[in-house]
Chain A
């Protein structure tokens, strides 16, 4: 089992600014993931956050726009940089405890960009 604390839960930001989302897990986990969920849409994987190495980004997502840190096995941050209204979404962090195991999710960050 894993309990994930994600913050902030929501924010309203001005275009051109950046927001950093934090994700804290109550146990050490190898695999952490960041998802984006645009309004009315499914979950889209942004990147896999690896401890001690660069994050692995999915097609369509780049490090300059979504820099990720993973300083240890219990914590990760996702920054949404130079925001535009198109970045308005729910951002979710999640962890997996093994192959084929269920994902545990944070409560999500509802981001609105004006």
Chain B
């Protein structure tokens, strides 16, 4: 069975601070995919990134960066110089090979204060 743990329920920062959202996953499959989604107050889930298990390269997209480490089964997400618009619930998800359906973590609520 698969499992995704987002231990941080809520994080509160002040604008311009850097913040890291943790994600730890469990699976016995060697082929799997990891995702991050953002859910702003409007409610719609927005896809941020997808990573497959064979690609451990870290990725940077503007102020967002992701650190994938198979050795620790982690796929952490860092926002640099946070902004109020980053306030949202962020979900990490895991999909194993052959499945359409991901397992979602419980989400981390990020609050960025001006």
Q: Are A107's CB and B42's CB within 8 A?
A: yes
Contact residue range for chain B? Answer: 20 to 34
At the interface, yes or no: B106 with Cβ under 8 Å from chain A?
Answer: yes
**Distance to closest chain B CB from A43 (angstroms):** 5
Q: Does A25 contact B (CB under 8 A)?
A: no
Q: Whole-angstrom distance from the CB of B35 to the nearest CB of chain A? A: 6
Q: In the complex the two chains form, is B47's CB within 8 Å of A100's CB?
A: no
B95 within 8 A of A: yes
Contact A96 B43 (CB under 8 A): no
Q: Closest residue of chain B to A103, judged by CB?
A: B102
Measured between beta carbons, the chain A residues less than 8 angstroms from B104 are: 42-43
Instruction: From A31, A42, A108, give the contact of B43 (CB < 8 A).
Output: A108
- Report whether B98 and A99 are in contact in the complex, using a CB–CB cutoff of 8 Å: yes
A42 near B44: Cβ-Cβ < 8 Å: no
Interface size on A, residues (CB 8 A): 23
1/0 per residue, CB under 8 A from B, across A87-114: the answer is: 0001010101011111111111010000
* Contact yes or no, A99 B44, CB < 8 A: no
B76: min CB distance to chain A, Å: 18
A99: contacting residue among B35, B100, B106, CB under 8 A: B100
Taking Cβ atoms with an 8 Å cutoff, the residues of A that contact B are: 31, 33, 41-43, 45, 48, 90, 92, 94, 96, 98-108, 110
Residues of B in contact with A (beta carbons under 8 Å apart): 31-33, 35, 37, 42-45, 47, 50, 52, 91, 95, 97-102, 104-107
Q: List 10 A-B contacts (CB under 8 A).
A: A99-B98, A99-B99, A100-B32, A100-B33, A102-B35, A103-B47, A105-B44, A105-B45, A108-B43, A110-B43
